[in-house]
Structure 1
Amino acid sequence: MIPEFHRPRARASLAPAGETVAIAARGAERAALARRFDLPAIRHLAARFHLLPATDGSVLAKARLVARFTQICVVTLTPFPATIATPFTLRFVPAGRESEGDDPEAIDTVGVTAGVLDLGEAAAEQFALLLDPYPRLPGASLPADYAPRPNADPQAANGALPFAALAARLHSRRGR
């Protein structure tokens, strides 16, 4: 399956001294990625990669990701704009040689099939890793009198899990 943001680059075509490649998602690609990551919108998603091939078949990629998008506040359920602009490093390696180590400081590896690096999917995956899983509108806070009920039955509210009501409310806001 071809990902939403597909920017293939043949490893064999890279200059031995390395090269810089800039990519940016187009409108339909941004819309598809927004659906994939459950975001209201992605207004801009781009990355600039410096690719340096190594003799072992891998490619070191030092990159910078820039994104402007809309998130939903977990406290108020209000959409708000957010920005990511950050460098990242990864290594493209032949499929099957990806590392699964426990070292959080290790360089992430991405498998390459048939000698083709997918820079777009690598940027999309990095974007997903950088998203705040609990985004908050600046200044949003829980009410001062909020306190979780001790030993509350999670099925008590509407006969469903507590997040079911939140999910229903979120989906009703998106439908407007």
Structure 2
Amino acid sequence: MTSPDLHPDRHPQRLRVAHLNPNSATPFHLRPDDQVCAAIATELGIDALSRLDFRGQVRAQGTDGWLLTGDLAARVTQPCVVTLKPVRTHVTDKVRIQFSPHVTAPEGDEVEMPDETLEPLGNFIDLTAIMIEALSLALPEYPRAEGASLQTTAPEAEATDTRRPFAGLDKLLGGRSDES
């Protein structure tokens, strides 16, 4: 069942470029229901996604391009990288993407676009795909539970003087020293 905010007749999740008005902005607001949030959480490999909200607008840019600007807000639960305890985080991010018919999609498995905010313009602007990608980029890479910390290195290793890497070599060579 689709939530009222994602009903395709009132708030489409994919905008047909040919139907966009070049003279005024087209607003959008996506707020997936619990079932869709659970599917997105599974896709992104996070424990839970209790809230997801993506709103903004698409407006003409120049004579043949489009600009999407929006705000993403989410509540996510991820495992702590140290203790594996659940870490709840409020994620917010500004999204800005320029769509241009003069940009071609990269080919290959891991080809990077020269500009992350510039995308090729097709027949549709897929708001759901943009929302999921923006969320995946905004997630904390190393979430930590409160008070969790990684064990530091041994004290001897910290005291090593890196300016004199051979300082203790004379002790290893049987007490010989150049100073005698």
TM-score by length of 2: 0.67
> Deviations 1:6-52 (Å, cap 9, x if unpaired)?
91111122222212211112222211111111111101111112211
1:132 maps to 2:143:
no
**Counterpart amino acid of residue 14 in structure 2:** P
Identity of aligned residues (%): 26
CA distance in 1 between counterparts of 2:62 and 2:105 reads 16
Higher relative contact order (CA 8 A, sep 6+): 1
The alpha-carbon deviation at position 139 of structure 1 amounts to 2.5
The alpha-carbon deviation at position 95 of structure 1 amounts to 8.5
Aligned residues: 138
CA distance in 2 between counterparts of 1:7 and 1:30 reads 15
**Counterpart amino acid of residue 126 in structure 1:** A
CA contact (8 A) 2:37 2:50 kept: yes
Q: 1:95 to 1:41 in 2, by over 3 A?
A: farther
1:93 maps to 2:106:
no
SS of residue in 1 equivalent to 2:41: helix
CA distance in 2 between counterparts of 1:20 and 1:10 reads 13
CA distance in 1 between counterparts of 2:21 and 2:81 reads 46
TM-score by length of 1: 0.68
1:54 maps to 2:61:
yes
SS of residue in 1 equivalent to 2:140: coil
2:16 paired residue number: 10
Which residue of the other structure, out of 83, 91, 105, is the alignment partner of 1:76?
Answer: 83
Gaps of 5+ in 2: 1-5, 7-11, 107-112, 158-180
Which residue of the other structure, out of 105, 119, 132, is the alignment partner of 1:110?
Answer: 119
Structure 1 consecutive aligned stretches of length 4 or more whose deviation exceeds 6 Å: none
Deviates more, 1:27-36 or 1:116-125: 27-36
Q: Within 5 Å, which residues of 2 pair with 1:9-28? A: 9-16=15-22, 17-28=24-35
1:169 paired residue number: none
* Larger of the two Rg values belongs to structure: 2
Deviates more, 1:60-69 or 1:129-138: 129-138
CA distance in 2 between counterparts of 1:127 and 1:63 reads 12
1:42 paired residue number: 49
